[in-house]
Amino acid sequence: MRIQFILLSFLCFFGVQTIAVANPNRYIDYGGYLVEVNGQTIASLRPDERFIPASSIKVLSALTILRTLGENYRFTTVFYYDQNTKILSVKGSGDPFLTSEVLAQAAAQLREKGVRHVSRLVLDDSAFALTPELPDGSENSLQPYDAGNSALAVNFNTVVFRKDRKGQLFQEDPNTPLLPITRELAAGASTGSQRINIYSGGTVAVSPALRLTAELLISLLRQAGIEVEDSARRSRVAAGSQPILTIESEQTVREMVRSFLKYSTNFVANQLVLAAAAHRFGAPATWEKEKMLLEATAYQQLALSPRDLQIQEGSGLSRHTHVSPQAMLVILRAFEPWKELLPEKFDSLVKTGTMTGVHCLIGYKDTPRGLARFAILLNQDRNTRWEVLHALLDPPDEKPAPVAKSKAIAKGKYIAKAKATSKSGTKKKAKSKPDTKKVAAKKKKKTR
């Protein structure tokens, strides 16, 4: 302790300001961190060693998307109709927020434009050419965070329902009817309200995403008073069809980025990076083009190297993605103009990353000495990231921030929250240990 005190005094005397005197390393079994205040490094552990970042890598994806597509970019979904053959074609561009509510409005508009009969529904998802549709790291589980991607995906490629003890199904989303694909997936599901990844049941050989889209569109068109035959196929827009309706995404890219950073939605993150890759390299988007685009941001724009970062896909699902704390600091410096898009927790703007054996925390925090940037990458069983942050940046007499417990699926208008959409919802997080010196009166806060 005497040696530590002398060292801290020495650093302070020579202008290296330390923010806290607690020892963060006692919370670390295997991991690294790097902290800087006003551009000056104040603490580090294995800063050049690469670790699995999980969803914290979404900050690089967000940076790439914003720089490539622009903040105000909106997706379009175009409907084509052939008056002679009565074929209705729908061409998607990868809008991640194409929902039942949006499509119900489109169906009503199609009727207003004179569409009364549809002999065949053609689904054009050629903007993406994904083999497989599932991102690297997906375990094809029931969980929504494992959902695949598609240029014409609806409802985040998930179905929502409630199943009672008698096995009866009820639709949780008032805008979505109970579809055949929902009934199939629900057959083996447990009771209660659930959101399920449509890729988990092996329901079709071609594409679960297009089956869901076809069944939903046919149902919504009928509800709008349009006669629709039970015929749908995957193809390019039918020859002779003319554009009859174009719908724009209600949210801009900036709003979508804020959403997937807050809820850590893997599906949305990859949809956006894939769309950005098609914008940069030309359609169709592929997993390889997505990887190329993320590497272009890291290696060309940020001057990082494969020694600093290796990335496989944009959501953080892949355990083949590795990044060093030093590289994360470079990413955070570049992302700083958009730092307010990150969720705020305990007076910090942060992005977490959680999988089994992975607990990461990166972001920004205002301190008495200026803005701190921090990257804490823990590849261990213990979830002690908040204790590490407290030891690094909080005054030693303050109580450490408690660690969050995961929350259940949110009943939001557009998206399910962390447990429903991110792999970070798979484990319950441990509570932090309060500082025994000043613990009595302070009420515990909670966060996700």
What is the per-residue pLDDT across 355-375, written as a single tens digit (0 to 9) for each?
Answer: 999 999 999 999 999 999 999
Structure token pair of residue 447 = 């966060």
* Residues 199 and 208 sit within 8 Å (Cβ to Cβ): yes
Query: HSE (CB half, 13 Å, CA atoms) of 42?
Result: 27
User: How many angstroms separate the CA atoms of 268 and 415, rounded?
Assistant: 10
pLDDT at 77: 98
Pair 146, 329: CB distance under 8 Å: no
For 2-69+254-425, CATH gives 3.40.710.10
- Range(s) within the chain of domains with CATH label 3.40.710.10: 2-69+254-425
Partners of 25 in the β-ladder? none
Nearest Cα to 97, choosing from 241, 286, 255?
255
Q: Residue 26: is it exposed, middle or buried by C-beta count within 10 angstroms (0-12/13-18/19+)?
A: exposed
Tell me the CA distances in angstroms from 162 to 181, 183, 212, 426, 430, one per residue in order: 14, 11, 18, 21, 30
Best-predicted range by mean pLDDT among 188-192, 296-300, 413-417? 296-300
Average pLDDT of the residues in 36-40:
95
User: Is pLDDT above 70 for 264?
Assistant: yes
- Asked if residue 162 lies in contact with residue 409, where contact means CB atoms within 8 angstroms, the answer is no
What is the pLDDT of the chain when averaged over all its residues? 87
- pLDDT (mean) for 400-428: 39
pTM of the predicted structure, to 2 decimals = 0.85
Strand ranges across the sheet with 158-163: 169-170, 158-163, 192-197
pLDDT of 1 > 80? The answer is no
pLDDT at residue 431 is higher than 60: no
pLDDT band, very low/low/confident/very high, at 188 (cuts 50, 70, 90): confident
290-335 pLDDT, tens per residue? 999 999 999 999 999 999 999 999 999 999 999 999 999 999 999 9
- Can you give the pLDDT at residue 183? 94
Q: Please, what sign has the CA dihedral across residues 442, 444, 447, 448?
A: positive
Return the higher-pLDDT residue of 314 and 174.
314
Task: Return the pLDDT at 148.
Answer: 96
Percent of the chain residues topping a pLDDT of 90: 78
The single-letter DSSP state of residue 442 is: P
Q: Can you tell me the mean pLDDT for 86-108?
A: 98
In the chain the first and final C-alpha atoms are separated, in Å, by 35
356-365, 406-415, 432-441: which is most confident: 356-365
Decide if pLDDT at 4 tops 90: no
Residue 397: pLDDT band (50, 70, 90) is: low
Q: For residues 218 and 131, what is the distance between their CA atoms, to the nearest angstrom?
A: 27
